[in-house]
Structure 1
Amino acid sequence: MGITRKTGYRWRAERGGVPPGRLEDAARSHRYLSLLERQRIATLRGQGLGVREIARRLDRAPSTVSRELVRNMLRHDGDRYDGDLAHARARDRTRRPRGSRLLADGELAQVVQDKLKLEWSPQQIAAHLRLTYPDRPAWHVCHETIYQALYNGSSGLSRTLTRRLRTGRPLRKRRRRPDRRKIRFVVPSVLIEHRPAIVAERARVGDWEGDLIVGRMSRSAIGTLVDRTTRYVRLVHLPHGHNADQLVTGMLTTLGDLPEHVRRTLTWDQGSEMARHDLLADHFTDGIYFAEPGSPWQRGTNENTNGLLRQYFPKGTDLNIYDAQALRDVEERLNNRPRRTLGWKAPIDVFTPALAR
């Protein structure tokens, strides 16, 4: 049918294998005129209204209406604008075939392939092409062009090179839009914007960020907690699973030996494992807060810590093989390691004095 494998998978998942007869207007960006808007343009133009008045009634820029009339009203249409016909022409134009630049230029494709074999990322390759070949603007492709060529086998690059990418995925993973995620918590959550301002200053000990690192096939996990100020790490052992109740049990065990004055706030992401955050609320004096959907940078300290932990708990492994003692050993390694952000002090050297207060 002339579609990519990714599109085929999506059609199968969303439509039961039935290809769409037309692109629904609801799925299109508001940037583009809809069929209804084009029909209204035809009606208002037939009433003798000018471009600016039509644009005002449609709440569009006059230039948008003007370009629409120029693009989709051909010479043989005379002076008549047909909304349905204009919409069909616009849709056909969006499906125009575009040849791959990597397919057309074998030399460029070879350069890109050589870098992929060295496990360079598409973004690194795109930057390399601009810096190394400033006098060849045709080679200044963006990283998305390389991704498209990799995942579309007829676009100039071998699909086997996807194994050289960081993820190693043979297919691109479809991601949900943050604004379409469902509410996962029965008890309402409090967003990070309501967190006390002092937390952002990193001026006190006891403001924690947390998350899960997940094992192979999401069948195992380890909870991670890191203090924003001292970078002190605590790991949550989850031997029986990582649903909401199991996380609460693991968190209570981990927090049990921490005094109240170093349990001030907790910031987590929107994961369903925190659906019972209400059971943990009493253990943090200033409350539990949640980052906005799709915003991991709002918990940057924890994301960085999870990256460090992956040295000991590699992706794609079964995390159930690590018992509680193994987690304590990793905690000790990280907490006794000097950190540049602490002036080359170890987290335990900064965190321990706070316990005595």
Structure 2
Amino acid sequence: MQWGYLADAAQRRHEENAARKGRGLKIDKDHALARHIEHKIKTEKWSPAAVIGELCQRGWSYDVRICVKTLYNYIDQQLFLELTNDDLLYKKNRDKQTENSRRGAAWNNRDGKSIDERPEPVNRREEFGHWEIDLVVGRKGTKPVILTLVERQTRKSLYVLIKNKSQKEVLQALRRLQRRVKGDFTHVFKSITADNGSEFLDGEGMKRAAKCGEVYYAHPYSSWERGSNENGNRMMRRFLPKGTDFSKLKPKELQRIEDWVNNYPRKIFGYKSANDMYAAMI
């Protein structure tokens, strides 16, 4: 695709907006920056905040500097020919659940510990090596699913394509991860937090497979208790939307998505990536 920032239509929008504001627009003076922004958001599926944050973190190499708020304003004003609000993956003011909205369902898994027993340093993400686990399902009627693990402190993600939603497949996937993880596996995996899905109810088996100290279980209907998992799964869904047939997914493509998620600039880390943070802990 040829980026059309210099096209007549875009230029007319610049002039119209500049006239309304009574002054020139910064982005109009740096077409290379505009093309960079369009490419990162449309092709690489970055958010506006990630684009600006990464430029600041790695060293700004363009003549014009703008902030995140200004970039959102430029997109709202349709100053880019190839970029609109439809290209933004998330709404800026997404509704969030809070602890006050929890459903009062009891934890009833006997083969593990409740999340209520998880130590406070783990809850506060002060200690490395504590993971959240989940399964992402594909098209209705198909069996393959993706097992996802997210390390709570660094947000490092690991993805494994498995045959079905069974305890056997989950345990085999955890064993396979030992060949991928760098460093002392017992240091990397200290605990796992899961939901109460039947595929995760073999807590003792999961501890043996992952060589971790404990498996904790969230309260039913409380997905926010595994917020790192939920956020990581949303990032994955940029490439594998609901309804995707995972039986056609190649391991190399899943690895590419995992690499994208782990290299994505995170605002919470000053726009360093999960890989940057994870490497510092190994």
Question: Into which bin does the TM-score normalised by the smaller protein fall?
Answer: 0.5 to 0.7
Shift, 1:328, TM fit: 1.3
- In 1, Cα distance between the equivalents of 2:106 and 2:228? 26
- Tell me if structure 1 keeps the 8 A contact 2:186–2:212: yes
Provide the residue aligned with 1:344 in structure 2.
271
Shift, 1:351, TM fit: 0.3
TM-score, normalised to structure 1, is 0.46
Shift, 1:319, TM fit: 1.2
Q: Does 1:227 align with 2:154?
A: no
- In 1, Cα distance between the equivalents of 2:254 and 2:177? 11
TM-aligned CA distance change 1:284 to 1:345, over 3 Å? same
Provide the residue aligned with 2:236 in structure 1.
309
Shift, 1:300, TM fit: 0.9
SS of residue matched to 1:216 = coil
Provide the residue aligned with 2:164 in structure 1.
241
- Tell me if structure 2 keeps the 8 A contact 1:235–1:254: no
- Tell me if structure 1 keeps the 8 A contact 2:139–2:245: yes
- 1:12-31, aligned counterparts within 5 Å? none
- In 2, Cα distance between the equivalents of 1:227 and 1:285? 13
Deviations 1:328-355 (A, max 9, x none): 1111111111110111001111101211
Among candidates 216, 229, 246, match of residue 319 of structure 1: 246
Provide the residue aligned with 2:123 in structure 1.
200
Among candidates 201, 204, 226, match of residue 278 of structure 1: 204
Of all paired residues, the percent bearing the same amino acid is 31
Task: Return the letter of the residue paired with 2:174.
Answer: M
Question: Highest relative contact order (Cα 8 Å, sep 6+), 1 or 2?
Answer: 2
SS of residue matched to 1:234 = strand
- Tell me if structure 2 keeps the 8 A contact 1:208–1:266: yes
- In 2, Cα distance between the equivalents of 1:224 and 1:294? 19
Choose 1 or 2 for highest CA Rg: 1
- In 1, Cα distance between the equivalents of 2:192 and 2:211? 7
- Tell me if structure 1 keeps the 8 A contact 2:111–2:203: no
Shift, 1:263, TM fit: 0.7
SS of residue matched to 2:159 = strand
- In 1, Cα distance between the equivalents of 2:252 and 2:114? 34
Shift, 1:308, TM fit: 0.9
Q: Does 1:212 align with 2:135?
A: yes
- 1:2-81, aligned counterparts within 5 Å? none
Q: Which has the higher helix share?
A: 1
- In 1, Cα distance between the equivalents of 2:130 and 2:141? 28
- Tell me if structure 1 keeps the 8 A contact 2:106–2:219: no
Provide the residue aligned with 2:261 in structure 1.
334
- 1:286-301, aligned counterparts within 5 Å? 286-301=213-228
TM-aligned CA distance change 1:343 to 1:284, over 3 Å? farther
Shift, 1:179, TM fit: 4.1
- In 2, Cα distance between the equivalents of 1:305 and 1:218? 24
Provide the residue aligned with 1:115 in structure 2.
none
Shift, 1:285, TM fit: 3.5
Among candidates 99, 104, 111, match of residue 188 of structure 1: 111
Provide the residue aligned with 2:99 in structure 1.
none
SS of residue matched to 2:113 = coil
- In 2, Cα distance between the equivalents of 1:235 and 1:290? 20
Deviations 1:7-65 (A, max 9, x none): xxxxxxxxxxxxxxxxxxxxxxxxxxxxxxxxxxxxxxxxxxxxxxxxxxxxxxxxxxx
Deviations 1:42-94 (A, max 9, x none): xxxxxxxxxxxxxxxxxxxxxxxxxxxxxxxxxxxxxxxxxxxxxxxxxxxxx
- Tell me if structure 2 keeps the 8 A contact 1:237–1:323: no
TM-score, normalised to structure 2, is 0.58
Shift, 1:211, TM fit: 0.6
- In 1, Cα distance between the equivalents of 2:258 and 2:112? 29
- In 1, Cα distance between the equivalents of 2:262 and 2:216? 25
- Tell me if structure 1 keeps the 8 A contact 2:111–2:202: no
- Tell me if structure 2 keeps the 8 A contact 1:245–1:276: no
- In 2, Cα distance between the equivalents of 1:310 and 1:255? 25
Count of aligned pairs between the two proteins: 177
CA RMSD in angstroms, aligned pairs only: 2.4
Deviations 1:186-239 (A, max 9, x none): x6221101112111121222111111111111633101111111111100220x
- Tell me if structure 2 keeps the 8 A contact 1:225–1:235: yes
TM-aligned CA distance change 1:205 to 1:218, over 3 Å? farther
Provide the residue aligned with 1:251 in structure 2.
174
Structure 2 alignment gaps of length 5 or more = 1-90, 92-102
- Tell me if structure 2 keeps the 8 A contact 1:266–1:284: no
TM-aligned CA distance change 1:188 to 1:218, over 3 Å? farther
